Structure 1
Amino acid sequence: MNALAQELPRAAVEARLVVLISSAAVGLGVLLSGFVLREPAPYELYMAGLIGVWVLFGLRISRAVAPLLVLLVTFNIGGMISMSQMSNLMNTPLYLAVSLFLAFTAVFFACVTEMRPQLYGIIFQAWVIAAVCTSILGMLGYFHAVPGAEMFTRYERAAGAFQDPNVFGPFLALPGIWLLYRVLTGSPLKMLLYAVPLLIIVGGIFLSFSRGAWGLFGASAILLTAVLFLQSTSGMFRLRIVVMSIAAFLFLALAFLIALQIPAVADLFTVRAQLVQEYDGARLGRFARYGIGFALALEKPFGIGPLVFGQIYGEDTHNIWLKTLMDYGWLGFVSYLTLILWTLAAGFRILFRTRPWQPYLLCAYVVLIGHIALGSVIDTDHWRHFYLLLGLIWGAIGLEYRHQHGLRARSASRFPGF
């Protein structure tokens, strides 16, 4: 009896230690996603090991998450078929291996958040820390604040610890939206705690001079505010939303005007703020390549091979829908389209249900909508954080499935005759 009494606390301590270590491991993976100066980045190497360890110790893919795995694998099978159309494979096998790996990261995050919803908080906190750190690096580089900080800029734009400002900016969207959510819904006493990192992240988004990132954050913020306003039945809370939205708009407008007093910022903003750039509307510019590519897709149901389009026309597709057709064929396109529609429909169905994980789902969902729209003017298929977004939403889908299954089981136990 004494031995049993001593063993139980020890087992409980060990179980708690496993939970802490595994949670920290997941958080570290998300933190590393904000530092991609070179490829393969530490994120890929670390996540490959982390996924392997979780698989060995019982990572389970539920029935609710299985469609995510099936559609992503089918998407990549389309890429393998498309690769067969190439006479010279070049680095295509490595490219597709990365695509498949990122697909597995989406499934991984869906599985672990479904298994332990407490991980949502850790994932979001790690993402905020990564966003603040990489934003500071980008701002230091843009203003040449310290020697050598230029490595955190590209094309005279802040890029943080990323290779491309057009990926750096969208990476900051979800942390920014999450902090905005906390400002709008949290205690007024903690408002400054969230407002300061939010301003740092918004500064990083602005200095990325990515039109896509500007639009993504702006649209996501509007969607978030609208959902919170419509979801609440409290007149006082709705008034708070309106007042704080006006205050935030005025503050950001003032900060924007101050930033434009810096000549370098004003000049680059004038160029980047134009809706159509020279490389968009040229004879073989981005928009012209869209028409060429979609016409070519009708003739090539198996695609033309990953990355071949850019070699033929001098620039990549810059459109995720066209890219799936060219690089993954019709099979990949149908799989990707099905995945996006399924994610949006299943996520929307549970978006307004009061659950502990609903705030995380809401923020991830509105940012995902922005990324889907952004995919119409840029390739997003190798964006690490895009797959993380998918995983977060599918994790909530799995949690809701478990919740409903539990309710039905309890109901059946109470009324066995029905």
Structure 2
Amino acid sequence: MTADYASRPRTSGLPLDRVQAAAVWLMMMSSFFVRIEPAPVDLMFALAMTVFLVGGGLSVTVVALPLIVLLTLYNFGGFMSFLTVMGEPKTGMFVITSCYMAVSAVFFCFYVQTDTERRFAVFKNGYIIGAVIASVIGLVGYFNIGGTGAYLSPIFRAQGTFKDPNVLSTYLVLPALLLTQDVMLGTTRHRFWRYIGLMIVLACLFLAFSRGAWMNFMLAVTMTVILTFTLTPSQKLRTRIILLAAGGIVMLGISLAGLLSIDVVAAAFEDRATLAKDYDSGEFGRFGNQLNAIPMLLERPFGFGPLQFGQIFGLDPHNVYLNAFGSYGWLGGISYMLLILGTIIVGFKGVLIRTPWQGQTIALFCAFFATALQGVQIDTDHWRHFYWMLGLVWGFYAASAAWSVRQQRLPRPQP
């Protein structure tokens, strides 16, 4: 796509689309620091929203209507549930945060429907840089460089500028997957830095010692390799994928062996590799609480109310689907289930449409699917990166569907 910058609206002497791109890039780059609320990424999101609302550039299509309706119903259910516990600490902010997350998903859905490749490249570049910065800080803290471990790694897991190592590690999954895909596809631009960035991000993802994030990434990367191998028409790329997969497994084994040769890392890995911890089992453990909550929720159309699950059972639900019914009531829970199912369906349909951005569609779908599945093991409800992926999957499907229609309308060459 060519760009006639001279003919485009200008802001402070710059073409408007460059100002908009800078706002989105700054938002994603600043996402490495979320220790405070609102985080810098939230302020940058407000800036990006303002620039787009004032200057235009967001495409609203009927394809996104199910996303908007289901997110609205989900949050309306949360508001009704909130009314039953209004006055309880932090419940009001819970509702506001949920609405903010929904707005961010809709924004990114509209954002990538126009000029899809270029706009996603801006998102991707900013996100990867933010992920590398977060990873470097996480590694510095984990290895206690400069005495930073007490603040950046308080529970001896890579945490850095995030409140929770589980959130940091899942935040890293999509950037790691995109970098892996660049290696797989043989992207030549900045190849050396892509390899370095990938190694840094993967090291931090591993040292965060999140069992869910490990499984998330392994599932996402496996799906990406399989779908790319299956859908590409290039035999050369298929051969490259096979060779890189074999080489990648060997390199991963060597890297893990090197990390596990460090006593403190080996001890932490042995502890975290256990599938069921003490707090998971038993009648009042994580899984026991989940089972105990189900019959109670069947009697409460408005759920327990936001943040009340932990008050009742002493532990958070650690299951986003159970939390949807607990914090958003029956309306919210059903809407959320339909939202996830609908996103998986449109995401997979988008993967099958041959477009110039099919590779990015595959990576987004696989990362979203793996994170949605991880929701069975942890509450992903207020993860910013989950809502970014949610909106992007719908936006890519809308763009791909429109591309397919345009291609069908092109005149066919006469024999």
Instruction: Classify the secondary structure of the residue corresponding to 2:381.
Output: coil
Query: Cα deviation per residue 1:337-377 (whole Å; 9 max; x = unaligned)?
Result: 11111111111112032212222211111011110111001
Q: Which residue of 2 aligns with 1:108?
A: 107
Q: Which residue of 2 aligns with 1:388?
A: 388
Q: Which residue of 2 aligns with 1:199?
A: 199
Instruction: Classify the secondary structure of the residue corresponding to 1:65.
Output: helix
Matched, 1:262 2:262: yes
> In 1, are the aligned partners of 2:108 and 2:391 still within 8 Å (CA)?
yes
Which 4+ runs in 1 deviate beyond 4 A?
187-191, 407-411
CA gap of 1:171–1:351, structure 2 versus 1, over 3 A, is: same
CA distance in 1, matches of 2:6, 2:121: 27
CA distance in 2, matches of 1:273, 1:292: 27
Deviates more, 1:65-74 or 1:17-26: 65-74
CA distance in 2, matches of 1:230, 1:155: 42
Q: Which residue of 2 aligns with 1:213?
A: 213
Q: Residue type matched to 1:353 in 2?
A: I
CA distance in 2, matches of 1:207, 1:104: 32
Superposed counterparts of 1:7-406, under 5 Å: 11-12=7-8, 14=10, 17-58=15-56, 59-86=58-85, 88-117=87-116, 118-148=118-148, 150-187=150-187, 191-406=191-406
CA gap of 1:10–1:363, structure 2 versus 1, over 3 A, is: closer
Query: Cα deviation per residue 1:392-418 (whole Å; 9 max; x = unaligned)?
Result: 11111221233245457667xxxxxxx
Instruction: Classify the secondary structure of the residue corresponding to 1:353.
Output: coil
Listed as ranges, the gaps of 5+ residues in structure 1 are 1-7, 412-418
CA distance in 2, matches of 1:300, 1:230: 46
CA gap of 1:25–1:280, structure 2 versus 1, over 3 A, is: same
Per-residue deviation at 1:108? 0.5
> In 1, are the aligned partners of 2:353 and 2:400 still within 8 Å (CA)?
no
> In 2, are the aligned partners of 1:142 and 1:150 still within 8 Å (CA)?
no
CA distance in 1, matches of 2:286, 2:71: 27
Per-residue deviation at 1:60? 4.5
Q: Residue type matched to 1:381 in 2?
A: D
Query: Cα deviation per residue 1:5-42 (whole Å; 9 max; x = unaligned)?
Result: xxx98545838621111111111111222210112211
Instruction: Classify the secondary structure of the residue corresponding to 1:279.
Output: coil
CA gap of 1:187–1:307, structure 2 versus 1, over 3 A, is: closer
Between Structure 1 and Structure 2, how many residues are aligned? Answer: 404
> In 1, are the aligned partners of 2:168 and 2:208 still within 8 Å (CA)?
yes
CA distance in 2, matches of 1:220, 1:22: 30
Q: Residue type matched to 1:391 in 2?
A: G
Per-residue deviation at 1:261? 1.3
> In 1, are the aligned partners of 2:355 and 2:403 still within 8 Å (CA)?
no
> In 2, are the aligned partners of 1:27 and 1:126 still within 8 Å (CA)?
yes
> In 1, are the aligned partners of 2:228 and 2:362 still within 8 Å (CA)?
no
Per-residue deviation at 1:194? 2.1
Deviates more, 1:382-391 or 1:85-94: 85-94
Query: Cα deviation per residue 1:213-271 (whole Å; 9 max; x = unaligned)?
Result: 11111111111111122123444332221111111111111111111111111111110
Per-residue deviation at 1:153? 1.7
Per-residue deviation at 1:145? 1.4
Listed as ranges, the gaps of 5+ residues in structure 2 are none
Per-residue deviation at 1:168? 0.3
**Max Rg structure:** 1
Instruction: Classify the secondary structure of the residue corresponding to 2:33.
Output: coil
CA distance in 1, matches of 2:104, 2:402: 21
> In 1, are the aligned partners of 2:59 and 2:113 still within 8 Å (CA)?
no
CA distance in 2, matches of 1:113, 1:82: 33
CA distance in 2, matches of 1:61, 1:239: 40
Per-residue deviation at 1:121? 0.6
Instruction: Classify the secondary structure of the residue corresponding to 1:303.
Output: coil
Identity of aligned residues (%): 33
Q: Residue type matched to 1:67 in 2?
A: P
CA distance in 2, matches of 1:158, 1:302: 38
> In 1, are the aligned partners of 2:23 and 2:47 still within 8 Å (CA)?
no
Deviates more, 1:376-385 or 1:64-73: 64-73
CA gap of 1:76–1:239, structure 2 versus 1, over 3 A, is: same
CA distance in 1, matches of 2:156, 2:364: 30
CA distance in 2, matches of 1:305, 1:281: 25
CA distance in 2, matches of 1:270, 1:12: 58
State the Cα RMSD in Å. Answer: 2.0
CA distance in 1, matches of 2:88, 2:308: 10
Per-residue deviation at 1:187? 4.8
TM-score by length of 1: 0.91
Q: Residue type matched to 1:62 in 2?
A: T
Instruction: Classify the secondary structure of the residue corresponding to 1:146.
Output: helix
> In 1, are the aligned partners of 2:86 and 2:92 still within 8 Å (CA)?
no
CA distance in 2, matches of 1:341, 1:298: 22
CA distance in 2, matches of 1:19, 1:294: 49
Query: Cα deviation per residue 1:170-192 (whole Å; 9 max; x = unaligned)?
Result: 00001111111111111579653
